[in-house]
Amino acid sequence: MIQRRNSRQRDIILKAVKSRCDHPTADQIYMDVRREDDRISRSTVYRNLGFLTDSGDITNVRLPSADRYDLRSDRHYHLYCIRCGRVSDAPLTYHEEFDRQTEEKTGFRINRHRTVFEGLCSQCLAETEKQKSK
Ligand SMILES: [Zn+2]
Ligand SMILES: [Zn+2]
């Protein structure tokens, strides 16, 4: 019975992640999930986000502030706005050859590499320009 409840909760959490393309934080997922089931605790959500990431259903984006969760499970790079915190997908292909080359040169077994480009998103950039011209 506990097993069934667990998998139902996991489904709700997975659905919540899959329904957002803005790379939400665990807290944002928790708020979404609470609308579906107000008995799910914060720790259940956090724990299941960990399971879903380990199983490869979703991925996480590691940031100094807080990890974000990604409905995409394929490897890709991210853009991070240092002003508003927005995270978006970089329109670039993942370079598997970097992993291979590094393995060959170091003997290290590489799972993946992560790249986050930091800067200002176009909206924040426009706002900074506006302030400057005042
Ligand atoms: Zn921004
Ligand atoms: Zn992404």
CATH of the domain at 94: 3.30.1490.190
Is there a single domain that holds both residue 37 and residue 78? no
CA dihedral sign, ordered 90, 28, 35, 59: positive
The pLDDT value given to residue 126: 95
Domain hosting 22: range is: 1-73
Is there a single domain that holds both residue 22 and residue 83? no
The pLDDT value given to residue 40: 94
Report the candidate in 66, 70, 76 with the shortest Cα–Cα distance to residue 56: 70
Question: Domain tally for the chain?
Answer: 2
For residue 106, how far is its CA from the centre of ligand 1 (angstroms)?
37
For residue 86, how far is its CA from the centre of ligand 1 (angstroms)?
6
pLDDT in tens, 71-101: 999 999 999 999 999 999 999 999 999 999 9
Is there a single domain that holds both residue 64 and residue 120? no
Helix (H) or strand (E) holding 12: helix 2-18
> Is residue 2's pLDDT more than 70?
no
Position of tokens 């890709």?
Answer: 76
Compute φ and ψ for 49, nearest 5 degrees.
-60, -35
> Is residue 1's pLDDT more than 90?
no
Is there a single domain that holds both residue 111 and residue 127? yes
Q: Which ligand is nearest to the CA of 23?
A: 2
For residue 110, how far is its CA from the centre of ligand 1 (angstroms)?
32
Q: Which ligand is nearest to the CA of 59?
A: 2
> Is residue 64's pLDDT more than 90?
no
